Amino acid sequence: MPTEEELFEAVDALLAGEPEMPPPAERARLREAAGITQVRLAQALQTTTQSIKNWEAGRSEPRPPRRQAYQRLLDGWAAQYPATPAADPAVPATFTGTPAPAPVTPEEFTGPAPVPAPAAEAPAAPIAAVRPATAAKPTASSRRPGAKKAAPKKTMTTAAAVDPRFENGPLAVIDCEDGQVSAYCVGGLVLDVPAKTIPALVDWTLAEGRLGQARLHRNGRDADPILVLTPSALERFGLPAALSEEERNASRLPAGHKVVKQIERAGLQMTQRGFGPWARLFRDPEGSRRRCVQLCVLPWNALDVREWGRKDDPQLLLTMHPADLVQYLGLYAARVMTPRGSTATTGLELMTALRPPTRAEKDEATGEFKPAFNDDAITARYEVVECEVPDEHPVLKGKFARHHMRTPAEMLMEEPYDWCRPLTDEECVNPYLVAVDLNMSFAAAANSLTVGLNGPTHLENNPAFDPALPGSWLVDLSHVDLSRVRVNGRTVDGTRLPSPFTPKGDTPTGPAWYATPTVAYAVELGFDVAPIEAYVRTQTSRYLDAWYKRLRDAYVDTMADMGVTTDLEGSDFLEAMARRKQVDPTMALLETAIKATAKGAIGKLRQRSRGQVPYYEPYPALERWTWRPDIRAAVLANQRTGLHRKLLKTAAAAGLYPVAIGTDAIVYPSPGPSPLDVLPHTAEGKPVPGGFRLGVSPGMVKWQGTQTVLWAEQQFEERGGLFNIANLIKTADPTAGEGE
């Protein structure tokens, strides 16, 4: 039992509390007043410059022991450089009127007028694994009518101006407590909502909510506000806590439901999807101003736990406090975009948001603006090519016998690697198998990739191969012999590597359809190619570059917030990766969502039927302009051939060959359990040029896990032969190694 003195000391410590840090903006002011750069401050505190930036932007907070040292430094600066009050404040301390809505001109919606600065980034907030049963009631705020402050959180500070139309952020979490409906917004703001019905909630959002997100491209459109409904909000507005089996199959409430009738009586419109987990309610536009609100019904699995949450805690999103949930989703919106549904749907919408199909062009004759197509965007739905579409596509109706399995000569089979081979006697001497995993591999493969934007042009009669033309080529690569490949003057045994031309790593046996990057790689290896025919696109663009850069920055910034920065190497990087999810659980969720956005969007380019219609009948995804299986094939071909290029250079430099590859996870025999024991380096200690390099940036690798060679042999024996062990070799992290 503790002594009385020990208990008193513990209580005194609680009473003393931890001194409160100055707001992020004040931290930056004090440092600048002292004439100290962020680099110099980082050196003094023995941390990274990125950490200083995060502390001064409100994206993260210092942790002991640096917190105490930073606090002491700021206190000293505050005594030397006290803040001076503004002589003529622009905004009175108390505001009692209703702010007038910001005017929206046609140019702001469709024309080439400058885009308002996007809303400030929402900061990370710690996750409350279970919502407190009795939370303190927020106190009223004098800054805005109907507003109240949430519990203290990391504040949102930025030098960028906030668009006054969306000053409350891109979205809000709607919750009900003690009969009071509240809208939790980013930055800790909580608004009282007088609405008692769903139509009233929508109208309040359009008239007073000041929610939304400024467009990401000057020719795009602003994002509609999102309202996330919690279980208590569903009960308050008369919605069921869960959908019945019939309603889940239909993904909507029945037409006769009382809430659907309320919506119809109020004159609101819904899309054809009806009132489901993601419901879009709108009124007719006022001029160029959209009047649309999207509802995200949390208890109806609108946010799939595999994408937005944690598999080991399926109830996490439902039990998070609304203030924590809005901070998480708000930060995703700030770094990626306002969610539009699943992460895959959002990733696909991000492509369009960054490459809008149309722009406003002034008619010189009339002086009026009219829509015009952008040259660097997908602007129409084009005819499809038989070899590029999946088996259930309507264009294949009547082409093949029932249950026919199309061959590589009939179907473009560009997929990631799924390959494994037996270990040699020499490799079995190593005690370990180490798996490394490519960061954001599909997004990295999209970077600088030239894709086609228009419809296909059919080239017949043995056309010459042109690597500048994206498309599909029917080529016989069975003559390519990779048994003795020369790389950097050294010979590589290509038989211990998978073929770069097939997902299973087998050598092609005859003519097959390939995307342009695959055929170009055969030429790069020094082999002749003689296409039989091709379908190519003549209007080309690096369409995915802006998409990649947006997701890359989101991923790198999020990892930096967890202490994994781009300057970390070797053991420092491995240690930072191992502890990152304990540093900030909110950022760990954001990392998963960003990776799922990149991976899912590429898959969405060739979305298959989900059983909505019979085989060979048109299904909804085919109506999208962005249903482009040729672009998906090009990305996957670039990912697979790029991975093979690294395998070759690693083998040439160190005689190191993989034994299994699963999507983007590579397994090597190793004398030790760490990636540092197996990944080759130059004499200067640098990673081999062109090979695998540990790091956080997309295209670099991280450690996925380690197993013993004995374990692998036991797996082969129990399963009666070879199977791919790549994705079974994981760390304790259940989300690792699933392909990105």
Please provide residue 295's backbone torsions phi and psi, each rounded to the nearest 5 degrees. Answer: -105, 130
- Domains of the chain from N-terminus onward: 17-80 (1.10.260), 106-361 (no CATH)
Q: How many CB atoms lie within 10 A of CB 10?
A: 11
What percent of the chain shows pLDDT beyond 70? Answer: 85
Interatomic CA distance for residues 346 and 353, integer angstroms: 10
CA distance 556 to 562: 10
Residue pair 707/643 in contact (Cβ under 8 Å)? The answer is no
129 has a pLDDT exceeding 80: no
pLDDT above 60 (res 670): yes
Give the CA distances from residue 378 to residues 214, 216, 374, 381, 542, in Å, rounded to whole numbers and listed in that order: 22, 17, 8, 8, 12
Q: What pLDDT score does 12 carry?
A: 60
How would you classify residue 94: left for phi > 0, otherwise alpha for psi between -120 and 50, otherwise beta? beta
pTM of the model: 0.79
Backbone φ, ψ for residue 691 (5° rounding): -95, -160
- Does the pLDDT value for residue 26 go beyond 60? yes
User: For 217-231, 319-333, 607-621, 640-654, which range has the lowest pLDDT when averaged over its residues?
Assistant: 607-621
State the pLDDT at residue 3: 66
The model's pLDDT over 51-91, given as tens digits with 9 standing for 90+, comes to 788 788 877 788 778 888 898 899 888 888 888 754 333 33
Share of the chain above pLDDT 90, in %: 66
Q: Which two tokens stand for residue 501?
A: 């031309």
Read off the pLDDT band of 2 (50, 70, 90). low
Per-residue pLDDT at 171 exceeds 90: yes
Measured between alpha carbons, how far is 121 from 561 in angstroms, rounded to an integer?
13
